[in-house]
Structure 1
Amino acid sequence: MRKAFMTIFATAALLALASVAFAADTAGAMGAIGTISWATAIGMGLAAAGCGLGQGLGLKAACEGTARNPEAGGKITVTLILGMAFIESLAIYALVVCLILLFAHPFAKIITG
């Protein structure tokens, strides 16, 4: 239930922010840049928070698994490091999307010349 709620909430937030960010005219370029800046800040903050929570939960589970079965510590560590790399790649993808929004948007070219 919680996962479905978060998926619906994230989709609605993305749709709301994207329509506001890309709906401005050339005359309102400064407002669009401000909106895009806010959208990227919020998006990166949510991505970092989500990745932090995911990594924390993964580390907690790995520590509990190693405490219950110390002989499986090696396999758990390898799986943990692989999972952390996948979670961290999601934060990097979010950063790339935010940077694209900031610097590759047509209004950014108007402002910067």
Structure 2
Amino acid sequence: MKKFGLIVAGGIAAIVLLSSIGPMIGLIVSVALLYFIYKKFLKTESTGWKIGLAIIGGIVLIASLHNIPAIIGVAAAYVLYLVYKNWNRNKQVMVKEESDPFINFEKQWNELQK
């Protein structure tokens, strides 16, 4: 039953992640543009060019605010990571129980006592 829950959570997270790839790419591009505009703004000494860069930076900032739903995609990616991590942990626990000779001995001993 736990595997079914992991499959459902992983499926929903995968659908949300795939649907928000566009805003994620847009957010990455707009934040990169903001970074380069800010760096250029600090290096520029001309007042007119600083005003122009501030206007362009404001427009790019509005564009990056438009892509805020990308955070939901990042959360979905994190949920997928947790599902993957828990899925593998369950496999490791099962393998550990099967390969541990003491657990097998205890199971056989309990069967003999019955």
**TM-score (norm: length of structure 1):** 0.38
Higher relative CO (Cα under 8 Å, sequence separation at least 6) belongs to 2
